[in-house]
Chains A and B, each alone.
Chain A
Amino acid sequence: MASAQLRSDQDSSSGHDSATKRGAKASSGRGTAKQLWLDAWADPVAGLNAFTNCIHTCNLYGDGDWRLVVADADKKIKVWKGTAKASEHALVEAPVAITSFITDSTAPRVPTLAVAAGPHVYMFRSLRPFYKFTLPAGDVSPAEDAVWKQVEAGKLEAAAAAQQLQHLQDKGSLQLTARSQQLLALAGDPQAQQQFAADSSGQAAAGNLSCITCMDAVRQAKDELDAVSRLVLGTEDCRVLILNAAGTAVDKAITLPAVPAFLATTGELDEGYRITVAARDGRLYNIKSGALSRSVIQLDSQPVGVVRAGRQIVVGTMADALHCYTGKGAKQYTLYMPASILTLQLLPAAAARQSKCVVVALANGEVRVYNDKALVSLHSSSSPVMGLCAGRYAREDCSLISVTATGALDIKIMPRTANLEAAAVGSSGPPPEQDVPLDVPKKTRLYVEQTQRERAQAVDMHRVFQRDLAKMRLATAHAFVKVLTDGQEIAPALRPSRAWQKASAADGAASHAAAANLSMNVSIQGLGPRFRLLLNLSNEGQELATDLRVLVQAEDEAMYQVHTPHFAVPALVPLLQYTYKVDATCLQPALGAGAVRVIVVGRAQQSPLMTALVKMPVSELDE
């Protein structure tokens, strides 16, 4: 009973939710937001293939003219200066992320470019290879090691080794090394496997190398564009690593419960920093000055990007929602987008008041800028934007670089006079209707009389009200007792109608079903006299419920004929819904409507697990 209440509560709240969802969508369309950006340059045939992680701008040569560096999926670093592509450099592996950091404070502060690929970070100074950082190797499990040893010794064919490795993986207890996984990925092609086994023989010595999943930089001391900074890496073995100043060794490692997918950093290493990690388990973890904070944020869906806007965390999810949380994990607000979110980026602006702006790219081609909750800029691109980079480019502080699904490059610049304040855009704040005075009717005689009566007889009116209230409470208690004793009366069933039923666990009986937590929902189809009852049964408990029987009886046998009066339900798996159809024919349509009782019993149990009395609708006369 109580849980029936709960269910309907949930139901109505989700209804409410979707209503606000629609409201939010509608109101986001209402805003007067238009494009604030200046269209500086567009190259529809740039041929770029990169996501947000792989697009970066930095003062590459230290000459004050910031270049665009794209780590393209075709294993090339592509550098743009102004409107022209300046150079291209080959990479050994497909990149996963690119960023830059400044190793020391001696002038000139030329940033070191870092490209993460596989287990390595390739570092460049003025685009010349400079250092290759490799993730520290983890331990290889002895079983896996033995398989590879045999392969190396020539005792085992690669295909057979793959089978053994597959077997190890299927046991599920250990995480295979990247090398083994690659071998397994080649399954079905023994030749390629053999080739790979031979080619990768060097990797064995390196041990179990993890892979980098994401990368960012965090500043050491002060919050400036050319401040000394360090690399932060997220790895496939569920760790976040902070490298030393030179980027040659791991300084600090923090282990998470899941694989990090996106990183967002804020603050400075010396004065307390925060790293927000969006992980593959759909949760946000916070690292606060070197330790994993206990507040974990569970998202409604998988994250597609996360940014730290000052103290706030803004995360986009696959549920088309943009959530904002405080650093402590308290939800601030949620904005629902009209299409899937592809990526998002922080819009860094020199003026601190603007630093809360977030740029969001949607699957319908829209690119929106939100300042807190207010939509301050909106423009559309012909093809969805896959990668965004916002920040300084060339000599302008605030530019927006986007790479679309078709490989086009688009560069926009925020004009100096642009106002990103929500108030300036007018998309927030009270609606204009609020200032229109309500048309309040004049005080009529009736109204005046009523008021006088209320004043004169306030005590009596209060008493009457109290008596009615007590009566209603009594009626409610009566109904509750009745439900406890003989099942719930279900309101006259409309077509299709819903009524939630819940059984309280029968006590004592040693059956699976005893602990079962069942819920049933009956709906009726048909105009009569032939009806169909749809019984939706689900097991809300944690355990499997087995050996149930369902009885369907007409209260008045002469009134309804039930075609399947009883049937067996062998098993109910938790959290799945099972639907059973039961046909019933009204024998005497002229007599109006009756009721049908549905009883669920467990095996070897005296009292039913659940009963429901379903009121049938009045059936139409059969001609």
Chain B
Amino acid sequence: MGFFSYLLDLLGLNGQKVNVLVVGLDNSGKTTTIERLKPKNKQSNEVAPTVGLSVEQFQRGGLTLTVFDMSGAGRYRLLWEQYYLETQAVIFVVDSADRLRLVVAKDELDNMLANQQLGRRVPLLFLANKMDLPLALTPVELAQAFHLEEIRERPWQIVPSNALTGEGLDRGMDWLAEKLLRK
């Protein structure tokens, strides 16, 4: 358990309800990431491509997270924007080894950032997932490719991760918790 979740406990903020939207292209590892975020006893190792979306609710780091696991398949991506209004945080999962579709991910990110419905101060957590793969790009390279430095208003962070082992997820979630707490 990270420092900030510890702090949350201390402040008695435990149980604050937060809607988290998890987006990213198909096969980037969104469902796998969410499985890893769940408490150990609820995790399942079998993941199949998500159809439409699935909603999960669990406690983590003193927050009650309602996680919207969106499907990243082309024909379902138009569902993402229907949840922008009610989200307090966005996790954008990128398959850092999928160099071909970097442009597609960037295009979808731009679409999302241009959408007025997404709150102006909603924190964005980028997970540079599949960092274990040999061809994976580093978070710095991804940030450059996505021109993340151009995001001025919203707080953002990019963290390398491996959803299979859970590596890097704690760091990302601690950052997110801190941002949500500041609110």
- Do chains A and B stick together as partners? yes
Q: Which residue of B lies closest to A82 (CB)?
A: B100
Docked complex Cα distance between A411 and B101 (Å): 10
**CB of B176, distance to nearest CB on chain A (Å):** 27
Asked if residues A413 and B74 are in contact (CB atoms below 8 Å), the reply is no
* B104 surroundings in chain A (CB, below 8 A): 38, 40, 396, 413, 415-416
Q: Which residue of B lies closest to A399 (CB)?
A: B100
Asked if residues A82 and B98 are in contact (CB atoms below 8 Å), the reply is yes
* A394 surroundings in chain B (CB, below 8 A): 98, 100-101
Docked complex Cα distance between A40 and B101 (Å): 6
Q: A38-B107, A415-B104 are in contact. Are A397 and B74 (CB under 8 A)?
A: yes
**Of the residues B75, B78, B99, B107, contact of A83 by C-beta under 8 Å:** B99
| A39 contacts the other chain (CB 8 A) | yes
Q: A395-B26, A397-B74 are in contact. Are A41 and B100 (CB under 8 A)?
A: yes
Docked complex Cα distance between A64 and B100 (Å): 15
| B27 contacts the other chain (CB 8 A) | yes
Docked complex Cα distance between A394 and B98 (Å): 9
Give a binary string over A397-431; 1 marks a CB under 8 Å from any B CB, 0 the rest.
10000000000000101011100000000000000
Q: Which residue of B lies closest to A413 (CB)?
A: B104
* A415 surroundings in chain B (CB, below 8 A): 104, 107
Asked if residues B101 and A416 are in contact (CB atoms below 8 Å), the reply is no
**Of the residues A39, A84, A395, contact of B135 by C-beta under 8 Å:** A84
| A350 contacts the other chain (CB 8 A) | yes
Asked if residues B103 and A416 are in contact (CB atoms below 8 Å), the reply is no
Give a binary string over B80-112; 1 marks a CB under 8 Å from any A CB, 0 the rest.
000000000000000000111111100110010
Asked if residues B111 and A417 are in contact (CB atoms below 8 Å), the reply is yes
Docked complex Cα distance between A323 and B26 (Å): 39
In chain B, residues 93-145, which have Cβ atoms closer than 8 Å to a Cβ of chain A?
A: 98-104, 107-108, 111, 135
**CB of A184, distance to nearest CB on chain B (Å):** 47
**Of the residues A39, A350, A395, A417, contact of B101 by C-beta under 8 Å:** A395
* B100 surroundings in chain A (CB, below 8 A): 40-41, 82-83, 394, 411, 413
Q: Which residue of B lies closest to A397 (CB)?
A: B74
Q: Which has the most chain B C-beta neighbours within 10 Å: A38, A65, A84, A411?
A: A38
Give a binary string over A313-340; 1 marks a CB under 8 Å from any B CB, 0 the rest.
0000000000000000000000000000
Q: How many A-B residue pairs have CB under 8 A?
A: 53
* B26 surroundings in chain A (CB, below 8 A): 395
Docked complex Cα distance between A302 and B73 (Å): 42
**Of the residues A41, A82, A83, A416, contact of B74 by C-beta under 8 Å:** A416
* B78 surroundings in chain A (CB, below 8 A): 416
* A411 surroundings in chain B (CB, below 8 A): 100
* B74 surroundings in chain A (CB, below 8 A): 350, 395-397, 416
Q: Which residue of A lies closest to B75 (CB)?
A: A350
**CB of B124, distance to nearest CB on chain A (Å):** 20
Q: Which residue of A lies closest to B26 (CB)?
A: A395
Q: A84-B135, A416-B74 are in contact. Are A396 and B101 (CB under 8 A)?
A: yes
Q: A350-B75, A395-B27, A396-B74 are in contact. Are A413 and B111 (CB under 8 A)?
A: no
* A395 surroundings in chain B (CB, below 8 A): 25-27, 73-74, 101
Q: A397-B74, A416-B74, A416-B77 are in contact. Are A38 and B103 (CB under 8 A)?
A: yes
Docked complex Cα distance between A350 and B78 (Å): 15
Docked complex Cα distance between A65 and B101 (Å): 12
Q: A38-B104, A417-B111 are in contact. Are A82 and B99 (CB under 8 A)?
A: yes
Docked complex Cα distance between A417 and B107 (Å): 9
Give a binary string over A30-44; 1 marks a CB under 8 Å from any B CB, 0 the rest.
000000001111000
Q: Which has the most chain A C-beta neighbours within 10 Å: B78, B103, B135?
A: B103
**CB of B158, distance to nearest CB on chain A (Å):** 21
Q: Which residue of A lies closest to B107 (CB)?
A: A415
* B77 surroundings in chain A (CB, below 8 A): 416
Docked complex Cα distance between A397 and B102 (Å): 15
Q: Which has the most chain A C-beta neighbours within 10 Å: B73, B77, B101?
A: B101
* B108 surroundings in chain A (CB, below 8 A): 416
Docked complex Cα distance between A84 and B77 (Å): 26
* A64 surroundings in chain B (CB, below 8 A): 27, 49
In chain B, residues 14-32, which have Cβ atoms closer than 8 Å to a Cβ of chain A?
A: 25-27
Q: Which residue of B lies closest to A392 (CB)?
A: B74
**CB of B134, distance to nearest CB on chain A (Å):** 11
Docked complex Cα distance between A41 and B103 (Å): 9
**CB of B115, distance to nearest CB on chain A (Å):** 11
Q: Which residue of A lies closest to B78 (CB)?
A: A416
**CB of A38, distance to nearest CB on chain B (Å):** 4
Docked complex Cα distance between A82 and B107 (Å): 18
Docked complex Cα distance between A318 and B47 (Å): 52
* B102 surroundings in chain A (CB, below 8 A): 40
**CB of A68, distance to nearest CB on chain B (Å):** 10
**CB of A4, distance to nearest CB on chain B (Å):** 63
Asked if residues B101 and A413 are in contact (CB atoms below 8 Å), the reply is yes
Docked complex Cα distance between A411 and B104 (Å): 12
* A41 surroundings in chain B (CB, below 8 A): 99-100
Give a binary string over A333-374; 1 marks a CB under 8 Å from any B CB, 0 the rest.
000000000000000001000000000000000000000000
Asked if residues A413 and B103 are in contact (CB atoms below 8 Å), the reply is yes
**CB of A481, distance to nearest CB on chain B (Å):** 76
* B75 surroundings in chain A (CB, below 8 A): 350, 397
**CB of A139, distance to nearest CB on chain B (Å):** 51
Q: Which has the most chain B C-beta neighbours within 10 Å: A395, A413, A417?
A: A395
* B27 surroundings in chain A (CB, below 8 A): 64-65, 395
Docked complex Cα distance between A258 and B78 (Å): 49
Give a binary string over A363-395; 1 marks a CB under 8 Å from any B CB, 0 the rest.
000000000000000000000000000000011
* B135 surroundings in chain A (CB, below 8 A): 84
Give a binary string over A55-86; 1 marks a CB under 8 Å from any B CB, 0 the rest.
00000000011000000000000000011100
* A413 surroundings in chain B (CB, below 8 A): 100-101, 103-104
Q: Which residue of B lies closest to A41 (CB)?
A: B100
**CB of B74, distance to nearest CB on chain A (Å):** 5
Asked if residues A40 and B103 are in contact (CB atoms below 8 Å), the reply is yes
Docked complex Cα distance between A395 and B49 (Å): 12
**CB of A226, distance to nearest CB on chain B (Å):** 15
Q: Which residue of A lies closest to B103 (CB)?
A: A38
Asked if residues A39 and B103 are in contact (CB atoms below 8 Å), the reply is yes
**CB of B50, distance to nearest CB on chain A (Å):** 13
Asked if residues B107 and A416 are in contact (CB atoms below 8 Å), the reply is yes
Docked complex Cα distance between A416 and B75 (Å): 8
**CB of A353, distance to nearest CB on chain B (Å):** 14
**CB of A41, distance to nearest CB on chain B (Å):** 5
**CB of B31, distance to nearest CB on chain A (Å):** 15
**CB of B2, distance to nearest CB on chain A (Å):** 34
Known: A40-B101, A413-B104. 12 other contacts (CB 8 A): A38-B103, A40-B102, A64-B49, A83-B100, A350-B74, A395-B27, A395-B73, A397-B75, A413-B101, A416-B78, A416-B104, A417-B111
* A-B complex: 4 closest residue pairs judged by Cβ atoms: A38-B103, A82-B100, A83-B99, A415-B107
A-B pairs with beta carbons under 8 Å apart, 13 shown: A38-B103, A40-B102, A40-B104, A82-B100, A394-B98, A395-B27, A396-B74, A397-B75, A413-B100, A413-B101, A415-B104, A416-B78, A416-B107
Give the A-binding residues of B (Cβ under 8 A): 25-27, 49, 73-75, 77-78, 98-104, 107-108, 111, 135
Give the B-binding residues of A (Cβ under 8 A): 38-41, 64-65, 82-84, 350, 394-397, 411, 413, 415-417
